[in-house]
Amino acid sequence: MNNPFKLVGVLGIVVIVGLLALRGEVVMKTGQSVVFVGDTFAERAQEYGYLEAVFSASFPGEDIKFRNLGWSADTVRGLSRAGFDHLQPEPGWIHLLNSLKDADPDWVIVAYGMAESFAGPGNLGSFEAGYRRLIAEIKSISPEKPVRFILLSPIAHEFLPGELPDPGSHNRDLRLYADTIRSIAGDIAADYVDLYSWMRRQTGSEKLTDNGIHLNELGYKRAARHIGQSLGLSAASVAIQIPSPQEPQSHVVPLAPIIMVRGGDGLDQNESYILRVNGEPVLQATGGQWQSGMAVESGALAEKSAELARLIQQKNRLFFYRCARRTILTSSFSENMNKDRMPGRFPCLIR
């Protein structure tokens, strides 16, 4: 077993980190291209790596290409992607389609809706029409192979104290956009993940966003787990059962940003137990809390997953600066220059 480590604590557990494939309905294979496309939710996911990591770790041994084409404040019509050719008809849409064609996707994970939601319910018809148009265009990129879709709803607007506006009205609009995306997913037989309802259920004291609508690192870690669980991905559904606090037992788990640890009936409901990883305390809770299950998202139990996320971050930065943004600028310039002197798009060699 590569990179094994032991976790021995008061709860008596030995964990070996490995690569474990437990297949759900979503199965990604060697040679396939997985593309994230959307607004700020998709683009900022590159900064933390957890979303891609939960997919990558769920398919060990598979050589899968991941591309993140997210763009801040973008819409289903690619409005934010316009460059120096902004006076041309639908320049952002053209750049969006060109980027999708270059990626040649087998899977497309779509995350639109937050930017459009600020236009209110009156924009729903236009949003739905643009969304369906985008799906149709993606399907036409490679008509000889089927493209599978995973549609993500926008998150709910998190309430934050201070001078920020009350999110109540915006959340009512976001619910409508989430329902529209759910309807589209049903029509095209796509997987759908309801991030809106998930966000509404988060009642802890920890903030999951920077400003109410953009997830922070903890938000992405937990959102990635929810997305993975909704899709049946092994790296998002890891749970360790500890039958008693006396005898350590071995468990094999895949890389996962968050692992659920549950105690058995032998734990005293009111007594406190400390989980130690490599001799270091990670989490303390009562026996009752351990029996209900505690999410462990730090310490050595999550180190390997964090390392994978860091590697993904580095890869995404290379793609972002050397491929994604360069493609937009060069194609914008070339439309007004001699094409023999400057090609419109350059191939990206980053895998």
Per-position pLDDT tens, the chain of length 351: 333 333 333 444 444 444 343 444 799 999 999 999 999 999 999 999 999 999 998 998 899 999 999 999 999 999 998 775 666 768 899 999 999 999 999 999 999 999 999 999 999 999 999 999 999 999 999 888 899 999 999 999 999 988 888 999 999 999 999 999 999 999 999 999 999 999 999 988 899 999 999 999 999 999 999 999 999 998 887 777 776 665 555 555 557 777 788 887 778 888 888 877 666 777 888 888 988 888 887 776 677 778 888 888 898 888 888 775 544 444 444 444 443 433 344 455 455
Which residue, of 236, 259, 288, is where some domain finishes?
236
Q: Is residue 345 part of a domain?
A: no
CATH code of the domain covering residue 174 = 3.40.50.1110
Identify the domain containing residue 273 by its residue range. 14-18+238-297
- 251 and 133 within one domain: no
pLDDT of 9:
35
Tell me, yes or no, whether 285 and 214 share the same domain.
no
Check whether residue 195 and residue 287 sit in a common domain. no
- Whether 54 is in a domain gets the answer yes
Question: Residue 136: enclosing H or E segment and its boundaries?
Answer: helix 124-141
Asked if 208 and 285 sit in the same domain, the reply is no
Q: Same domain for 228 and 269?
A: no
In a domain, 325, yes or no: no
Of all helices (H) and strands (E), which one includes residue 260?
Answer: strand 259-263
Strand partners, 65: 33
Claim to verify: residue 103 and residue 164 sit in the same structural domain = yes
60 assigned to some structural domain: yes
165 with 271, same domain: the answer is no
The token pair that represents 94 in the structure block: 């053209």
Instruction: Please answer whether residues 132 and 172 qualify as being in contact, where contact means their C-beta atoms are separated by less than 8 angstroms.
Output: no
In a domain, 175, yes or no: yes
Q: Are residues 216 and 271 in the same domain?
A: no
Query: Do 116 and 94 share a domain, yes or no?
Result: yes
> Is 83 part of a structural domain of the chain?
yes
Final residue belonging to a domain, choices 236, 258, 274: 236
- Asked if 131 and 93 sit in the same domain, the reply is yes
For residues 144 and 211, membership in a common domain is answered with yes
Dihedral over Cα of 280, 286, 216, 308: its sign: positive
Same domain, 242 and 173: no
What does the longest C-alpha to C-alpha distance in the chain come to? 77
| 270 part of a folded domain | yes
Sequence-distant (≥ 6) Cβ neighbours of residue 89 within 8 angstroms: none
- Identify the domain boundary among 248, 277, 297: 297
Q: Three-class SS of residue 312?
A: helix
Contact of 93 with 100, CB cutoff 8 Å:
no
Residue 310 counted as domain residue: no
**CA-angle at 42, arms to 93 and 64, nearest 5°:** 95
Do residues 71 and 81 make contact, with C-beta atoms less than 8 angstroms apart?
yes
- Pairing between strand 107-111 and 33-38? parallel
Q: Please give the pLDDT value at position 254.
A: 59
User: For the chain, how many structural domains are there in total?
Assistant: 2
- Residue 126: its pLDDT value, please? 97
